[in-house]
Structure 1
Amino acid sequence: MDVINQYKELGVYFQNMDYVDVKTIENDVDLRTFISRMLSYYPWWIILLYRVREIMVSVLGLVRHEKPEDLPSIKPEDLSFKPGENASFFIVCKAKEDEYWIAESPEDKHLAAFIGVVAEKINQGRTRYHVFTSVKYLHWTGPVYFNLIRPFHHIVVRSMMKAGAQKSPVA
Structure 2
Amino acid sequence: MDTDVAALRTLSDTGDFTDTLRVRASVGLRTFVAGALGWAPGWLRFLYWTRGVFARMLRTAHPVVRPGSGGMRPEDVPFTPGRRIGFFSVVEGVEDHHLLLAASDSHLAAYLAIVADGDDRYRMVTVIRYLHWTGRLYFLVIRPFHWLVVRGMARAGARGRWNT
Q: What TM-score do the two structures reach when normalised by structure 2?
A: 0.92
Read off the aligned partner of 1:110 and give its amino acid letter: H
Cα RMSD between the aligned structures? 1.9
Read off the aligned partner of 1:10 and give its amino acid letter: L
Distance of 2:22 and 2:89 partners within structure 1:
22
Distance change (3 Å), C-alpha of 1:67 and 1:145: closer
Distance of 2:54 and 2:85 partners within structure 1:
24
Structure 1: runs of 5 or more not aligned: none
Contact 1:5 1:11 in 2 (8 A): no
Match of 1:78 in 2: 76
CA positional deviation for 1:137: 0.5
Task: Choose which of 143, 155, 159 in structure 2 pairs with 1:162.
Answer: 155
Match of 1:145 in 2: 138
Task: Choose which of 98, 101, 104 in structure 1 pairs with 2:99.
Answer: 101
Match of 1:60 in 2: 58
- Matched residue pairs, number? 163
Distance of 1:138 and 1:58 partners within structure 2:
16
Q: What TM-score do the two structures reach when normalised by structure 1?
A: 0.88
- For the pair 1:112 / 2:109, whether they are aligned, the reply is yes
CA positional deviation for 1:73: 1.4
- For the pair 1:14 / 2:12, whether they are aligned, the reply is yes
Question: Share of identical aligned residues, percent?
Answer: 34
Structure 2: runs of 5 or more not aligned: none
Contact 1:112 1:137 in 2 (8 A): yes
**Which one scores higher on RCO, CA 8 angstroms, separation ≥ 6?**
2
Look up the SS of the partner of 2:14 in the other structure.
coil
- For the pair 1:45 / 2:80, whether they are aligned, the reply is no
Task: Choose which of 68, 90, 93 in structure 2 pairs with 1:92.
Answer: 90
Task: Choose which of 11, 26, 29 in structure 2 pairs with 1:28.
Answer: 26
Distance of 2:52 and 2:138 partners within structure 1:
12
Q: Over alpha carbons, which structure has the higher Rg? A: 1
